[in-house]
Structure 1
């Protein structure tokens, strides 16, 4: 028996959990027609097969039709959910993992123009800023109907064979009743502490009556809203005591903070650059005060922190949810003594930001997550060893080298710079985003373990590549910052890369023109502001930084709003001219062609994405077997490439920004789906 605290079993009432690691409820937005079909099932099954003790599904499943998902959630109010959840549960049970689901009514945390266009309800009239709907104040018949909906949904989950249900009582309807900040009702559901907690207790009682004593019920609840007039720490402890005394609740899952705005949400679910496990001690405080089985997850990204949480008795089960999106095989690697092989969660929160934009959750550097039907988490060896040459040691090139080496091929990587990393190394120069270098460091370690040869400070020409007699050549040379987009005066501007790299010193009064809308501009703005520059960030878009999604925008704004930084939307930079020892920026608009304005500044910075560095690709293209062509149908389906038509010799592919300016995930995904079958 292992003595590792994380690998000890845990007895939760009648259920034995095989270790102390779980994935908490979260919605990756993989359902189809509101149902957890194969994509959803395989996502959870991957973690179950790799050893996680408890996989919690749905964050959260909707119990009522007037709780329409704002992204692609499971519809627990439909009877057909039973069959789909049963298949998922049976598969995970067979793999040794317990399965639960989170049920909720969103209350005001949704929109009236989703689903069936029913009015949004809440325990008060206040709008939630994040979702903008003005709610109808809930009526008695609404309360009775919704309690019944909860009970129906819990009964469906028991019929599907799940081990239990967790109810969401933070930010959603239960919490909107419990919090004095959102509950304006009178007796019996408003006013006093007991009255505000009554709705949650009524739901729990109705569900327990339906499912009986041998089905687990838990509550993930806000035990401290960290806001004046809201639920206090003392209130949170008392809520836990009431849940315990009721006999209706088998476990608690502790939340601290609110989620009604992007800024508040990042306090509950911190992103990179923020403190790891910020609420762990608080969760331990609740456990110590009440003694109930206690779960918790909030940026617990590494095994050491998780082990500490269990070893010190602060938690009974530790949630490593985003960490399992980066590497679903964490438990297996712990058991096999391979912790150094765990792919790190770098806190980019690309996963959550995508779902809040209405897309599916994806890990920034594990493209197999959510694509288990077509992409492998474990690379299988090739039947024949080949010679593979990769040009470029950014994220795309390193992923190509890693996968090729795991396939058993002999790999050489050419890199013009002295160190690996490409654009990520530039990104990681900003202290808040320093964790991004983990994407590079992990791949370098994996390549080193498989004897990949690196030739740094080598600008590869076609003759260098051909001298290696390769069977496959991967061009991952990335892109170069594009700044020459003006009608005149391009020679007077610098790129955002120039600022971030330190090649150009910040000016005193700076116009930063950003029509790429990505992290690069925001990082450059922060760099400039921290250096004391006065900065105007200008974009032709109707909102600034549209590619920097909600949660990741928060730390930028916290860094910029107390400095001399302004944002100008719907205007564009047309030209630049010299103005004595300063610069004159000519500004126009897409909306009014006749508009002309001027800005007098010391420096003009342009962020316009990148253009591919692809000369080597085009030099090699006519010499390759496939003439550089990619079979897109095969690529999408996860099948091997079989294009030909050129002279015999080597196959040639280009990936990442060497194709077109995209992002880190796209670059790594390019590499994985090409190389997994080479």
Structure 2
């Protein structure tokens, strides 16, 4: 629960209230609207509400939900949005608002019409609409040019949706301008009309003014009305900051808005989205705070803003210096919804950091790379409760992400925890991932857990290889095997002539001359090895079994690697596999099979680097199974439900293996294994 220290609240600008009209928001930290992926048939049901309620319990001032909530039938649900175009949503909103208000947080919804950003083949397969028939790159839609009947219909739909939000007990709403229909009318890049809705800046503002005038008439003066507004569409667009300020002043002078939620850049295509609109790891923190500050000064209304404001120092600067009125820490709240509670109670050093990995933008959203509770609030807990049973001796073998999380959760439960890592450093494969030019922030995942384990009093041992007898001598009650895996090189003939990506990333092998990299996973290690090879002066050929590089990663990560490959002149060979390698005159002959043509080609290189994930290290686990009371079996039903594991005998310790010691997966999956098993101990 949120229990602030008055002395801390008094001196921190982030903890000061903000009043807009009649509404007082208790502090300056918010979560901006996003499609969190938890809706049910377009409705915010229990899972959706619980996800936001965790932030309210954690002290957030304002939660803005419903990223791209659709107001009308030709704005279809294409990326798990809410439907505010039906009265069915009202009781859901009423329950939602009651839950958030009970925790002291304000609640608002974003409503929108996607316009050309929709999908003509989604929903009811209606044509998309827009101010002009200009194709949108990201969603591939060529819209119908709206006539005045369309305009009147959509204006009425906005007003009806806003009224539903008011009847649902919300504190306010924002319309979405940037990239969506309202913004498409505002931007000269997407509005080529010659009637009263196009041409001059005043004409391009007409649709936005009509929408907001209709909303205000429907909801009255007591309801908060804002706009998520693009202040500058970026260097490749016509709408720049000076014109964004002029548009905002027109809206302000008309009394159309109570606040602006400022965004930068366009959503026109995936590179623009990743570079400007929602930047991730490798981008400087809070990259657009300065132009947002100029906008706020010139417009003179409360301004919200979120774009990689991932840490409290950046948020505090933005608020203290008058750049923003509300700091949107959306992804940071996905990593730790208790940011405000920890800040306000003097526990700022316990905040789980957002490392900018953009895992929350994957198809599995809203999941955080290293907070597996997020999005699973109905079955897991952000605040790990103390055990109601006896204190148990928990021994964790392996100090990678799975082992660190297993040790942390077990220690939070109040157990006696010892963690043993064979290497000199804790972190496992995270240390390899952090070697890249733009992925160093991954170390925050390790550093936070080590700090938490120190606070919780766990016993940590590096350079400590443990065999079966070493573990048994500790007389444990529970043994968690998080030993990870070893690189897999499975290509048929010539595997022994190949190098694995781990050896490249640890610097054990120096690459030179002609290097062939075969990527069999579409994850980070292949591109990381390519980067390392290029830095060493090698000439790189990159072969992938997938249609594109980094296919398993999020769009933001993929764009990063594409940019790096473009910079270094690496042209990937897609949908091709490495079938064999043989030595030939002190060089290596690599045979490649193209999956489309079934043709085999041979290339001569100096090194062949293979990335195929890992195979589990299970030797010690296999030796321990006979000593355990569960035969080393983790019951799947109990695991999924985070329930106590069944015993198969009365003697011995409980034994589990987690993470890559089970199968080659990612950080999130490894930590989810650990949390599910250990939160029930």
Structure 2-normalised TM-score?
0.97
Name the counterpart of 2:161.
153
CA drift of 1:544 comes to 2.7
1:532 aligns with 2:541: no
1:618 aligns with 2:622: yes
Contact 1:205 1:248 in 2 (8 A): yes
- 3-state SS, counterpart of residue 55 of structure 1: strand
Name the counterpart of 1:31.
39
Name the counterpart of 1:441.
447
Name the counterpart of 2:327.
318
CA distance in 2, matches of 1:430, 1:360: 25
Q: Deviations over 1:527-551 (max 9, x none)?
A: 2223332222112223332112211
1:554 aligns with 2:565: no
- 3-state SS, counterpart of residue 583 of structure 1: strand
Name the counterpart of 1:258.
266
How many residues are treated as equivalent by the alignment?
Answer: 671
CA distance in 1, matches of 2:358, 2:548: 21
Unaligned runs of 5+ in 1: none
Name the counterpart of 1:216.
224
Name the counterpart of 1:671.
674
Name the counterpart of 1:137.
145
Correspondence list, 1:296-445, <5 A = 296-352=305-361, 354=362, 357=363, 359-383=364-388, 384-445=390-451
CA drift of 1:404 comes to 0.7
- 3-state SS, counterpart of residue 318 of structure 2: helix
Tell me which moved more, 252-261 or 208-217: 252-261
- 3-state SS, counterpart of residue 567 of structure 2: coil
CA distance in 1, matches of 2:305, 2:585: 61
Alignment match of 1:288 (pick from 287, 297, 301):
297
1:278 aligns with 2:278: no
Name the counterpart of 1:487.
492
CA distance in 1, matches of 2:365, 2:427: 27
Alignment match of 2:591 (pick from 564, 586, 591):
586
Q: Deviations over 1:476-495 (max 9, x none)?
A: 00111112x22211121111
CA distance in 2, matches of 1:228, 1:634: 53
Contact 2:396 2:479 in 1 (8 A): yes
Contact 2:518 2:544 in 1 (8 A): yes
CA distance in 2, matches of 1:596, 1:20: 61
Name the counterpart of 2:653.
650
Name the counterpart of 1:173.
181
CA distance in 2, matches of 1:212, 1:433: 49
Tell me which moved more, 659-668 or 494-503: 494-503
CA distance in 1, matches of 2:195, 2:537: 55
CA drift of 1:586 comes to 0.8
Correspondence list, 1:60-75, <5 A = 60-75=68-83
Correspondence list, 1:188-199, <5 A = 188-199=196-207
Contact 2:42 2:77 in 1 (8 A): no
- 3-state SS, counterpart of residue 603 of structure 2: strand
CA drift of 1:149 comes to 0.9
Q: Deviations over 1:618-673 (max 9, x none)?
A: 111121111111222222223222x2224512000000000000100000010011
Name the counterpart of 1:233.
241
Q: Deviations over 1:248-294 (max 9, x none)?
A: 20001111111212211121211111110010111111111121111
CA drift of 1:610 comes to 0.5
CA distance in 2, matches of 1:545, 1:430: 14
- 3-state SS, counterpart of residue 29 of structure 1: coil
CA drift of 1:592 comes to 4.4
Contact 2:108 2:173 in 1 (8 A): yes
CA distance in 1, matches of 2:350, 2:202: 50
Contact 2:408 2:453 in 1 (8 A): yes
Name the counterpart of 2:127.
119
CA distance in 1, matches of 2:279, 2:236: 21
Name the counterpart of 1:635.
639
Tell me which moved more, 11-20 or 573-582: 573-582
CA drift of 1:512 comes to 0.9
Alignment match of 2:28 (pick from 2, 20, 27):
20
CA drift of 1:228 comes to 4.4
CA distance in 2, matches of 1:224, 1:532: 39
CA drift of 1:360 comes to 2.9
CA distance in 2, matches of 1:435, 1:555: 15
Contact 2:201 2:247 in 1 (8 A): no
Alignment match of 1:83 (pick from 57, 79, 91):
91
CA distance in 2, matches of 1:314, 1:562: 34
Contact 1:533 1:564 in 2 (8 A): no
Name the counterpart of 1:469.
475
CA distance in 2, matches of 1:77, 1:437: 44
Q: Provide the alpha-carbon RMSD of the alignment.
A: 1.2
Q: Deviations over 1:42-91 (max 9, x none)?
A: 01111111111111001110111111122111011121111111111111
Contact 2:342 2:351 in 1 (8 A): yes
CA drift of 1:143 comes to 1.3
1:565 aligns with 2:570: yes
Name the counterpart of 1:109.
117
CA distance in 2, matches of 1:434, 1:673: 28
Contact 1:622 1:646 in 2 (8 A): no
Alignment match of 2:214 (pick from 206, 221, 225):
206
CA drift of 1:507 comes to 2.4
Contact 1:529 1:565 in 2 (8 A): no
CA distance in 1, matches of 2:289, 2:64: 19
CA drift of 1:226 comes to 1.4
Tell me which moved more, 62-71 or 416-425: 62-71
CA drift of 1:390 comes to 0.2
Contact 2:549 2:562 in 1 (8 A): no
Contact 1:102 1:165 in 2 (8 A): yes
- 3-state SS, counterpart of residue 317 of structure 2: helix
CA distance in 2, matches of 1:127, 1:500: 42
Contact 2:117 2:179 in 1 (8 A): yes
Contact 2:128 2:143 in 1 (8 A): yes
CA distance in 2, matches of 1:377, 1:614: 31
Tell me which moved more, 328-337 or 192-201: 192-201
Tell me which moved more, 667-676 or 451-460: 451-460
Name the counterpart of 1:7.
15
Name the counterpart of 1:186.
194
Contact 1:540 1:569 in 2 (8 A): yes
Contact 1:534 1:564 in 2 (8 A): no
CA drift of 1:123 comes to 1.8
CA drift of 1:139 comes to 2.3
